[in-house]
Structure 1
Amino acid sequence: MKRRQFGAAALISFFCSALVLNLLGFMTLAAVLPALISEWGLTSTEAGWLGGIYFAGYVVAVPILTALTDRIDPKRIYLGSALLAGVSSIGFAVAADGFWAALLLRFLAGAGLGGTYMPGLKALTDNLQKSAQSRGVTYYTGVFALGTAFSFLIGGEVAEQFGWRWTFATAGAGCFVGALIIIWVLPSRIPRDGTISIVTSFRAVLQNQSAMSYMISYFGYAWEVFAFRVWVVAFLFFSQMHNALGPEVLNATVWATIFALAGVAANMAFGELAIAFDRRRVLIFVSVISVLAGVSIGLLSDSTYGAVVSVCFVFAMLTSGRNAPTNAGLVNAVPEHLRGTAMAVHATIGYAGGIVGPLAAGIALDVAGGIENPRGWTAAFLAISAGAVISALALYCLNRRRD
């Protein structure tokens, strides 16, 4: 069969579309978390586990599957993982009836993302000319926030109309459609003979100080952004109730969608700034401002709803916007033959923050008074903001070269 040929813009667009579809289940749990807390009688710590376990599945799968893209066809890895993610989401819709079943199914769904997101990025960059790779990374990782936005929107709107189980069924269907796009656009690749052992590859990546600075910075990014996304709907529900607001205000899941969409624009803007200027300094500056915004949300937790939403909007842009330039920095910091291994380590270290962040916020909530207490939310946002502190320190202390 004749191989299909696509220009850089078309190929990036197809991969971005598949990514958005595979991310429909990414934050559906956060969108329906208040309902699950009520229906299943969850504590804030248990809810934090449900928010973070998805990233545990991701962290377990991604180092193996992404590293293997240097040695076997990424298309096979992508399609098998998309199938796992789709089946897990549909399984959640059908079988989840409490904390433990939900925990297992979200873990498996996260493992499915582990075989689609970074392996998809590796497959995309392998099929782009070097001149297009930085922008390919920027747009592919930047559109992650768009997938997050749709997962919030679908999670909220479908749940409101048909119940929360249908949100997960819809997300599962999205994974299958995304897989069909990849079947069509991504050529199969004959595995190359590996001349460097996996151990040697990992050692070379871990000894690359510039790459490690971006990996640890990514840990802080994931801590902050995923903790915010897991808890923002519950936080906005609290603020609405605290201010005695009725149905005339926008639904909390709609605001969460708007925040995620703002992250798309921020990713593109910060990505272009990082290309034009010193990437490291841009990321440090944005991280510091993000800390200030996150602390401000905590201090304003019992303030007016308008003030809370406004600062959350700014915070969402500052957190999400660091994704694309951080990933691009990692890609540029390693040689091509180590890129798959580097992405595996990057995603593993980074998304470990996605496990810790939501859980840390949940524990802070429980310790400081719970989800109905303003002091609880102050503590939660202080815990969330710690992620940006880690990001800034990693880039400042470990990477002094101009990038």
Structure 2
Amino acid sequence: MSSASEIDIHDELSGAAVGPFHRRLGILVALMTMFDGYDTFNPAYVIHYVAQPWGLAAGQAGLLVSSGLIGFLFGAAGHGVVADRFGRRGTLLAGLWIVNVFTVLTALLADGFWSFCVLRLLTGIGLGVILPLATTYINELAPRRVSNVFSLWGVALGWSAGGMLAGLVGVFLTPRFGWEVLYYIGALSIPLTFIVQSVLPESPKFLAARGRVEELRQLLVRLRPDRREAYAGTALRAVEPAAAGNTYKILLAPRYRRVSLTIWLTAFLSLFAIFGLTGWIPTVMMKRGETFAASFGFGALMQAASFVGGLVLAVLADRRFAQAPRYLAAWWCIGGLAIIALVFTNDHIVNIAVVTVAGFCIIGAQHVLNNFTAGSYDTDVRASGVGMELGVGRVGAILGPFVAGLLQQATGGPDAVFWAIGGAALIAACTIGSLGFRKAASAAEAKVLVTG
């Protein structure tokens, strides 16, 4: 007589050991987000070379940095519906190809303010797909007990490494080859895209939610080889229906409303601070008397510190998941106070220390916020949830460099910028701290019935 038992895909993935297949997929995602981070931050190293030849005012220079973020806003906010309906893998590939094409065109065709901004805006649409969807993908793959740490290694490491690489190229190669070299190097994402297309599987939770059971069976065997016998030779069917209706309306339904609004406001403030600072850090530090190499190096230092800060915070969040909002609040509070300290002192060692703390705390907290967001939503709205978090956040990212430029133009110095960025980080701390708890994992995670 046949017997039937239920297997919860969420439990299957959560209980898995991190094996070789997990690591290979984590490395692949890290490489994708490395090019995302590289492409996101390299406009900060273009300003130095084009501001005078293109006759840019400070406000225009801020818009030059923000133009790609405007495209990111549309990509991040719009990709979720596509990814939740048609899959993570194909949507990621589409985002990569958009970045590939317009990165090459930026190097070849951008010869003025408007052409650069338009090409950066179109590139940003692809960037707006890669980071949030990579976060969604890695969250659906990771064992729950190490989800934040795994996400840091799989997403934030790549993104931070990309930001560091942009800084190193800015320091060592742009003086010799011009700002265009930033985008020629960025075009190395093209061979990576072919590798992704041949290797990356669909998300297991998406397969379960869509009833694609044979693909799911094969993927589960690779993710959990210890459970091979349980999956082989059985009849599987998905029993949980996919979410119906407009996924963005679901994010504001009573079940999610408080979490969504809190996360969106926090992301807006966090990314306002991050991009306001990273977009102007080389220029501001040169005005404070730092050398060209040191000023450009601050951007790389900030990205390196952000991964370490995010990793420490991720370990804390994995150990006490319910306390994640409070840990995030502490990180942003420390980072905000450090930035404000620059108003009162200008010393080389202090500059290094503050930039390190800002990267460690402010950017590091943003890495963990992304994974916290992914874990706050069910499979069928997760991509939309992360996309909206980073989409709304990108409004802040767009305004950050632009407002920083206007403040410098109006005041003639960077002190107002430090007040604005530090203040935004402090308000972000208060906002996420008000949540006070992590929403319990949903009961709507996809399940499959195994009979045999």
- Partner residue, 2:236: none
Partner of 1:196: helix, strand, or coil? coil
What is the distance in 1 between the residues matched to 2:424 and 2:304?
Answer: 21
Q: How does 1:326-365 map to 2 (within 5 A)?
A: 326-365=369-408
What is the distance in 2 between the residues matched to 1:99 and 1:186?
Answer: 37
- Partner residue, 1:282: 327
Alignment RMSD (CA, Å): 2.3
Of 431, 437, 441, 1:394 maps to: 431
What is the distance in 1 between the residues matched to 2:277 and 2:154?
Answer: 21
- Partner residue, 2:163: 148
Q: Structure 2-normalised TM-score?
A: 0.79
Change (3 A) 1:158 1:198: farther
1:223 is the counterpart of 2:272: yes
1:204 is the counterpart of 2:253: no
Shift of 1:321: 1.1
Query: Quick check: 1:297–1:312 contact (8 Å CA) kept in 2?
Result: no
What is the distance in 2 between the residues matched to 1:7 and 1:168?
Answer: 32
Q: Deviations over 1:244-298 (max 9, x none)?
A: x6x7xx4422232122111111111111122224111111111111221111123
Q: Deviations over 1:284-337 (max 9, x none)?
A: 11111122111112333xx23332232222222221110222122212222222
What is the distance in 1 between the residues matched to 2:335 and 2:143?
Answer: 34
Of 344, 357, 361, 1:314 maps to: 357
Partner of 1:41: helix, strand, or coil? coil
Change (3 A) 1:186 1:258: same
Q: How does 1:162-173 map to 2 (within 5 A)?
A: 162-171=177-186, 173=187
Q: How does 1:3-42 map to 2 (within 5 A)?
A: 7-42=21-56
What is the distance in 2 between the residues matched to 1:153 and 1:68?
Answer: 35
Question: Which of 173-182 and 9-18 deviates more?
Answer: 173-182
- Partner residue, 2:136: 122
What is the distance in 2 between the residues matched to 1:195 and 1:273?
Answer: 33
What is the distance in 2 between the residues matched to 1:340 and 1:368?
Answer: 41
- Partner residue, 1:372: none
Gaps of 5+ in 1: 370-375
Query: Quick check: 1:139–1:324 contact (8 Å CA) kept in 2?
Result: no
Aligned residue pair count: 382
What is the distance in 2 between the residues matched to 1:212 and 1:332?
Answer: 15
- Partner residue, 1:73: 87
What is the distance in 2 between the residues matched to 1:27 and 1:400?
Answer: 32
Shift of 1:12: 1.1
Query: Quick check: 1:22–1:174 contact (8 Å CA) kept in 2?
Result: no
Shift of 1:180: 2.7
1:237 is the counterpart of 2:286: yes
- Partner residue, 1:53: 67
Change (3 A) 1:68 1:129: farther
Partner of 2:38: helix, strand, or coil? coil
Query: Quick check: 1:214–1:327 contact (8 Å CA) kept in 2?
Result: no
Question: Which of 263-272 and 122-131 deviates more?
Answer: 122-131
Partner of 1:355: helix, strand, or coil? helix
Query: Quick check: 1:19–1:178 contact (8 Å CA) kept in 2?
Result: no
1:292 is the counterpart of 2:337: yes
- Partner residue, 1:373: none
Query: Quick check: 2:45–2:179 contact (8 Å CA) kept in 1?
Result: no
Change (3 A) 1:335 1:75: closer
Query: Partner amino acid for 2:393?
Result: G
Shift of 1:393: 2.6
Change (3 A) 1:319 1:181: farther
Shift of 1:389: 2.7
Query: Quick check: 2:165–2:300 contact (8 Å CA) kept in 1?
Result: yes
What is the distance in 1 between the residues matched to 2:245 and 2:183?
Answer: 36
What is the distance in 2 between the residues matched to 1:123 and 1:349?
Answer: 20
What is the distance in 1 between the residues matched to 2:191 and 2:277?
Answer: 28
Shift of 1:198: 4.3
Identity of aligned pairs, percent?
Answer: 19
Query: Partner amino acid for 2:437?
Result: R
Query: Quick check: 1:216–1:391 contact (8 Å CA) kept in 2?
Result: yes
What is the distance in 1 between the residues matched to 2:249 and 2:433?
Answer: 23
Question: Which of 258-267 and 147-156 deviates more?
Answer: 147-156
What is the distance in 2 between the residues matched to 1:126 and 1:400?
Answer: 24
Query: Partner amino acid for 1:161?
Result: R
Larger Rg: 1 or 2? 2
Query: Partner amino acid for 1:145?
Result: S
Q: Deviations over 1:365-385 (max 9, x none)?
A: 11101xxxxxx2001111222
Gaps of 5+ in 2: 1-18, 212-240, 440-452
Query: Quick check: 1:357–1:387 contact (8 Å CA) kept in 2?
Result: no
Partner of 2:201: helix, strand, or coil? coil
Question: Which of 319-328 and 190-199 deviates more?
Answer: 190-199
Partner of 1:299: helix, strand, or coil? coil
- Partner residue, 1:384: 421
